[in-house]
Structure 1
Amino acid sequence: MTEDQFRKRWDTEKPVYQAWADFIKHNIEQALAASIAPTTLDYFLKIPVKPRLKLESTLIDKAFHRKQYQNPYDDVQDKVGMRFVVLLTSDIKKVCQVIESEESKKFWVFSRDRDYEIERLAKPLEFTYQSVHFVLKATAGNVFGGINILEHTPCEVQIRTLLQHAHSELTHDTIYKPKTTAQPGVKRTVAKSMALIEATDEFFEKAMQDIEEALKPQNDILNLLKKIYTDNVGTGVGDEQSNQLLTDTYIDLLQAPDVGEKISKFLEEKSFIYKRVNERRASKHLFSQPGILLSYYLASKNPAQTRGLWPFEIDDLALIFSDLGDRMPD
């Protein structure tokens, strides 16, 4: 194949490659959103995913000059690609699971071109570039945006942590400059930065585990409240940070191991609360949150402390005491 033939074929097939990448992005994000709920995709992905076609000049340079492939057009697997950037190394696995799932196999055949975990095991004393690279090749019959995707059309998908991405951005321009990167000083500096990133990734993972463990009692209560709210008030229950603020404010009053049972029993006995909450949920924000049910429990069992520590508008608390038929403490 000549360079001119390459250009003509690429010009014809560019819309197919773009449609294939858009199809992959759509399907991965859709499956990922379901798997990480209630975490939102906007929070989980630290950089928006943007499928990008390689420039024609870049493809020619790689296919005919830097690599000199035997089959220049077909051997270049990254004519289009995208990058998923997440916070933690454990988050990388969540994206990989979506790509490798049985559901996804009807859309593509995948291969892992790079896997940082395998590379670490193979060369434990080296600290080098880290990332997971997949090549996804279309199966027959895929259509997106009215465009038929040619079978075997490839797309590169990279998955990195935010720190790995920063390192890659820093060193990208020197990848194809062997005389520069071969210098011992340059190699050592890059290796040190990679070692620091790997250690920081591990600290991030440990910190997240510690945070999740510390928040477990509060999250258990909130999950219980969400279920009770959904079952007795209605769907569309809120999930705003005011719920965490409420449980954090009153955590000292919620330490009993059977506190969940006590809250459930209280609400069962005071079932009129659900009607009051439902009447106000559309016009008063706090009443659309599951934490409002905890507020009734606290106001009934610990009125003085509930009043003294109340972190929101006092008018909402006054309504709660009124519904309970109690006088709000001064």
Structure 2
Amino acid sequence: METQEQKEEQLIKDYNSLKPKLIEWANFVDLTLQNIIYTNIESASIKIQIPPQYRLKSDESLIGKAFYNNQFKNSSKPLKRIEDKVGTRIVLTSLREVKIVKEIVLSNTEFWNVRISRDPDKSFDKKPKEFDYTAIHLNLTPLGSSSIFKGFSNTDLEFYVCELQIRTLLQHAFAEVAHDTIYKGAFSSNNQLVRLLSKAEALMEVTDEYFCNAYETMEKVEEYEKSFLNGLIKLAESELDFKFDKNSIDIPLTNDIFNIFEIRNIEIREIEKNIQRNKSLLKSLLANTKSYLGRQPIVILIAYLVFFDSSELKEKWHLEENILKEIFMRLNFSFGIG
């Protein structure tokens, strides 16, 4: 009869035989994740805080999970059943981004077979002490067509799962502390500590939701401001035969002016009407103004405000007065008269 020591030695021997392909597969997963996420990073407004970087389970950790964990101790094939032999994680800013990346990974089935292995809410209900369960867990298994695994059967491929965790930065920081303290530490039976960390996790989840709401609000504002800016650029081209250099647009300055003069109360159509009424003056302004502001699309908005409400414009103006005086002069307005 095989002794426990022999079982453990055989497990590690079998594990060592898997490691080269596990590492190769994990490298492929990391690179592919970065490629497919960066392809969508601008359109989806994703901010990667920590890029994917795989980690291989240590021999000692594998033995502990295979033979000294209630979930696997009676398993005839623990090496196959343990699906986090190699794992990677990607850390993002908000829960919204986590959901987006999850859908990106699930939809790219030309690279892997993918399965959701843990639902955060259901997993936490079952195992409230395992604080890394708040992350989304996906299991990525190689396809039979993978060049890495030529000649491997579907049964063989099941040994090469790479576990992917998708977390927010808050979830990541909390899990790194709580997982080591509770799940692997000496305090797993300390109910008071578990309750305290549970409260902290609840607060973290609420904070994540607030962050998500804040990002949604910012995105709506950014979307409106981008649309307004594009409207000014298009009007310059279509009505004034002038093309701004998009690479030279000062976005912080533009947003500053937009906020001060509350562009949500201004219709692009009204600016267009103003251009049509004062086309020659505005063409001259764009052609002859050599200042930094004159190379920014917001100069069209400022010109509109000169015509529409010059008193309010002067009252709210917070930059050098001479900058505004030049625009007034080129539009045949006296700066001393509101």
Cα distance change, pair 204–264 in 1 and its aligned pair in 2 (3 A) = same
Q: Judge conservation of contact 1:133–1:157 (CA < 8 Å) in 2.
A: yes
2:87 pairs with one of 70, 78, 81: 81
Per-residue Cα deviation, 1:80-102 (whole angstroms, up to 9, x for no partner): 4333333332332222222223x
Give the letter for the 2:273 counterpart. K
Q: Judge conservation of contact 2:244–2:295 (CA < 8 Å) in 1.
A: no
Q: How far 1:175 sits from its partner (Å)?
A: 4.4
Aligned to 1:324: 331
* CA distance, structure 1, for counterparts of residue 161 and residue 114 of structure 2: 9
Q: Does 1:19 align with 2:25?
A: no
Aligned-partner SS, 2:88: strand
Aligned to 1:262: 270
* CA distance, structure 1, for counterparts of residue 130 and residue 58 of structure 2: 33
Cα distance change, pair 192–88 in 1 and its aligned pair in 2 (3 A) = same
Give the letter for the 1:240 counterpart. I
Cα distance change, pair 299–177 in 1 and its aligned pair in 2 (3 A) = same
Per-residue Cα deviation, 1:294-317 (whole angstroms, up to 9, x for no partner): 122112322233233223344543
Q: Which has the larger radius of gyration?
A: 2
Cα distance change, pair 48–88 in 1 and its aligned pair in 2 (3 A) = closer
Aligned-partner SS, 1:110: strand
Q: Judge conservation of contact 1:77–1:154 (CA < 8 Å) in 2.
A: yes
Q: How far 1:277 sits from its partner (Å)?
A: 4.5
Aligned to 1:28: 37
Structure 2: 5+ residue stretches without partners: 1-9, 151-156, 238-242
Aligned to 1:248: 259
Aligned to 1:145: none
Aligned to 2:162: 155
* CA distance, structure 1, for counterparts of residue 161 and residue 326 of structure 2: 61
* CA distance, structure 2, for counterparts of residue 82 and residue 314 of structure 1: 55
Identity %: 21
Give the letter for the 2:149 counterpart. L
Taking only aligned residues, the RMSD between alpha carbons, in angstroms, comes to: 3.7
Q: How far 1:222 sits from its partner (Å)?
A: 4.7
Aligned-partner SS, 2:43: helix
Cα distance change, pair 195–229 in 1 and its aligned pair in 2 (3 A) = same
Number of aligned residue pairs: 306
Per-residue Cα deviation, 1:147-181 (whole angstroms, up to 9, x for no partner): x4438553322222232222212212134447621
* CA distance, structure 2, for counterparts of residue 84 and residue 274 of structure 1: 51
Cα distance change, pair 289–55 in 1 and its aligned pair in 2 (3 A) = farther
Alignment of 1:117-156 (within 5 A): 117-119=121-123, 129-141=133-145, 148-150=147-149, 152=157, 153-156=160-163
Q: Judge conservation of contact 1:132–1:158 (CA < 8 Å) in 2.
A: yes
Q: How far 1:49 sits from its partner (Å)?
A: 0.9
Q: TM-score normalized by structure 2?
A: 0.73
Q: How far 1:184 sits from its partner (Å)?
A: 1.6
* CA distance, structure 1, for counterparts of residue 331 and residue 259 of structure 2: 23
Aligned to 1:304: 311
Structure 1: 5+ residue stretches without partners: 143-147
Aligned-partner SS, 2:44: helix
Q: Judge conservation of contact 1:127–1:192 (CA < 8 Å) in 2.
A: no
